[in-house]
Amino acid sequence: MGAFRERRHLIPYRSALLPSIFTDTLVIGSGVAGLRCAIEAARGGEVIVLAKEPLELSNTSWAQGGIAAAIDDADSLESHEGDTMEAGAGLCEPEAVHALVTEGPAEVRTLLEWGMRVDRDQAGTISLGLEGGHRHHRIVHSNGDATGYELARVLLERARREPRVRIFERCFAVDLILEEDADASKAAESRARDRADGPRRVTGALTWHPRHGLQLIRAASTVLAAGGAGQVYRETTNPRVATGDGLAMAWRAGAVLGDLEFMQFHPTTLYVAGSHRALISEAVRGEGAHLVDRSGRRFMVERHPMAELAPRDVVSRAIVEHLAATHEAHVFLDVRHLGSERFGRRFPGLARMLAGFGIDPGRDLIPVNPAAHYTIGGVVTDGAGRTSLPGLFACGEAACSGVHGANRLASNSLLEGLVFGRRVAGAILDRPLPRPAPRDFERVVPVMDRAELDLTDIRQSLRSAMWRHVGVLRDGAHLRDVEDMFRFWARYGLQAVFDDPAGWETQNLLMIGTLMTQAALLREESRGTHTRADHPRESPSMAQHRLWAIDWESPRLVPVGALARAVS
C-alpha cells in the first residue's frame, strides 16, 4: 500500500506580494503545550502564538481530568512509569516515559508557584485522585472537574505577562512555509535523500485572519501544538477546533507522522439525544461510580480485575461489545450511592451540566457511551520535540513522541503538554536558529473559481464513516471500503480551492481520516486502543511504530526504542 499523496499546499500560487511578519518562534496552538512552550521560549526572543478560535476553545480548557504526577510520599516515579508503560501496550518509548514522569512533579510545582488553584483537604494538603490504569492516588484536580480550565487560565495569565509573547486569536494556520536550506546539516540532507527538491527548512506559516486576510508569519523556529483530530469522528468529546490541522500541515510539508491508527476513545460521555457528547470524567469512576446496563448489572466486574477502573481501551471495548450483545443503545453510570450532595461538591461542573438535562445523579442513572477523545499518533518527534524537518518542532497532542504508546494513561496528557512544551522551548533556546532572510513571496490566491461543494454533507459523511468503521471496533473489509470511499472523495475534495477555514478544515479532516484508515488497515492485530475483530489478539511481530511521509512510497516500521532516531 502506497502512502496517501496529494498536493503540497491547499491554495495554489499566483503573482503578487504577501505581507510578512517576522518572529523568533512561531507557536501554532494555544493549549497547554503551546502556551508552556511560548512562556519558556520568550526567554530567548519574540514569540507569536496562533489560536484559530477564541482561546477558551481548546482541548486544554475543556479537560475535566487532572494532571498525573507522583508527588505523594506513598507514590513513586517508578510506579507512575510502570503504569504508563503498562497502559501503552508495548509501544511506549522508555526514554520519553522516563522524561514525563521524572520531570512532571517539577512542572506541578511551577504551576503552584504561578498561582494555579488545586483541590486540597481541610489541612491544606493537595487532594490526589485515582483514575483508570493508575495504582496510586496521583491525580491533581482543580475544582473537581475543571482542571483544564484552571490550567489554561494560569498559563494564559503568565503568557500575557511576558512582553515578548504575542497571541493572535482567530488566526488560522493554512500551511507551513518551506524554503530550501542551503546550510542544512548532514542529518537533514540524509532525511531528504528521497526528495527531488533537496533539503528544506520550515520558516513559518501561511495564515488567514478574518480582518487581515492571508499573510506570512516567518520564524526561525516553528512549533506545531495544534492539538489532535477528534472531529474526524461523529461522536467526540473534542471542541470544534480539533480538525487535525497541525497533522495535515506537517504531512503536506513532508514531515514524518506515526502511530495514526491509535485514537483513544473515552468510555463515558453523556449520551442524550441532541446534546454535545459531554465528557463524564474518569475521576467519577475513581470516586466509586459503577458501569451498569439497563438491568442494573455491573458488566465490567467480569471483564477486568480493575472493573470500572480498567484502562480506557478495555472499558470502551467492553461497552461496545456489551451493547452489541444486548442490542441496547447505551449503558449507564450509577453514582446514586454517592448521593447528590457529595457528587455536587466533588464535581460541581458536571452536576450543573447534568441538571440542565434533568438528571439528578443522586437519584438517576446517567446514560453514557464511548466517544473519540485523544489522538495518540501525530508528528514524530525526538525527546526534545524536533521533527524530521529542520526548523519544525511539535509537542502535545499533535506530536508522536512515543510517550503514550498504543494507549494513553489517564491524566498524562496535560502533563505531557507541560513537560514536552518546556522541552521544545529548551531545544530552541539551546541551539537558536537565525530568522529567515527577507524575500519576495508570491501571493497565494485562487487560480480558479471557489469550489461549490456541500462541505456540511462531506464532513458529516466523513465523520459517520469514521465512527462506524474506524472506531472502537474495526475489521479489514470495512476499512478497505472506507479507504476506497475516501480516495474517491479526495479526487475532487482535495483538489478544490477554498478561501476560508471551513473548506480548509474539511480538506484536513479528509486527509487525516484517509491516513488513519490506511494505518488501521495495516495493523493486523488488536493492541491498546486499536481493536480488530478479524485480528483479535496482539501480534509480537507488530510491536513496532508505523511511520508515514508523503515522500515515501510506503510506510516504514521502527522498533520500540528507536522512534527518536527516526527523525534525528
CATH number of residue 309's parent domain: 3.90.700.10
**What was the pLDDT predicted at 3?**
62
Is residue 311 in some structural domain?
yes
Task: Compute the 3-state secondary structure of the chain and give helix, strand, coil in percent, each to the nearest 5.
Answer: 35, 20, 45
Indicate the average pLDDT of the chain. Answer: 90
- Extract the runs of DSSP E, i.e. beta strands, from 472-524: none
CA atoms of 312 and 266, how far apart (whole Å): 6
Q: How confident is the model at residue 348 (pLDDT cuts 50, 70, 90)?
A: confident
Domain final position from 340, 371, 402: 371
Is residue 197 in some structural domain?
no
Q: Are 529 and 263 in contact (CB under 8 A)?
A: yes
Of the candidates 258, 291, 479, 289, the residue with the CA atom closest to the CA atom of residue 370: 291
pLDDT in tens, 517-566: 999 999 999 999 999 999 999 999 999 999 999 999 899 999 999 999 99
Based on the structure, what is the number of domains in the chain?
2
Is residue 307 in some structural domain?
yes
b/e map 92-125, b = 16+ CB within 10 Å: bbebbbbbbbebbbebbebbeeeebebbeeeeee
- From the CB of residue 550, how many other CB atoms can be counted at a distance below 10 Å? 21
Q: Are 511 and 4 in contact (CB under 8 A)?
A: yes
Q: Are 374 and 228 in contact (CB under 8 A)?
A: yes
Domain final position from 333, 351, 371: 371
* pLDDT score of 197 more than 50: no
Q: Residue 324 corresponds to which amino acid?
A: A
CA atoms of 526 and 264, how far apart (whole Å): 13
CA atoms of 80 and 70, how far apart (whole Å): 6
Residue 522 is part of a domain; what is its CATH number? 1.20.58.100
Q: What amino acid positions are annotated as catalytic residues? A: 312
Q: How confident is the model at residue 440 (pLDDT cuts 50, 70, 90)?
A: low
* pLDDT score of 131 more than 50: yes
Q: Are 245 and 508 in contact (CB under 8 A)?
A: yes
Is residue 274 in some structural domain?
yes
Q: Of the ranges 14-28, 216-230, 343-357, which one carries the lowest mean pLDDT score? A: 14-28
**Looking at per-residue confidence, does 518 or 16 come out higher?**
518
Is residue 548 in some structural domain?
yes
**What was the pLDDT predicted at 334?**
95
**What was the pLDDT predicted at 8?**
72
pLDDT in tens, 299-342: 999 999 889 888 788 899 999 999 989 999 899 999 999 999 99
- From the CB of residue 325, how many other CB atoms can be counted at a distance below 10 Å? 10
Domain final position from 371, 393, 411: 371
**What was the pLDDT predicted at 270?**
92
Is residue 167 in some structural domain?
no
- Mean predicted confidence (pLDDT) in 472-481: 97
Q: Of the ranges 36-45, 314-323, 369-378, which one carries the lowest mean pLDDT score? A: 314-323
β-pair type (128-129, 139-140):
antiparallel
Domain residue limits at 360? 266-371
In which residue are the cell numbers 504526577 written?
69
Is residue 338 in some structural domain?
yes
In three-state form (DSSP H/G/I as H, E/B as E, the rest C), the secondary structure along 188-234 is: HHHHCCCCCCCCEEEEEEEEEECCCEEEEEEEEEEEECCCCCHHHCC
**What was the pLDDT predicted at 544?**
97
Is 562 in the same domain as 464? yes
C-alpha cell at 544: 513496532
Q: Are 164 and 42 in contact (CB under 8 A)?
A: yes
C-alpha cell at 153: 487560565
Is residue 339 in some structural domain?
yes
Is 359 in the same domain as 462? no
Sequence-separated (6 or more) residues with CB below 8 Å from residue 231: 238, 240, 241, 242, 243, 244, 463, 509
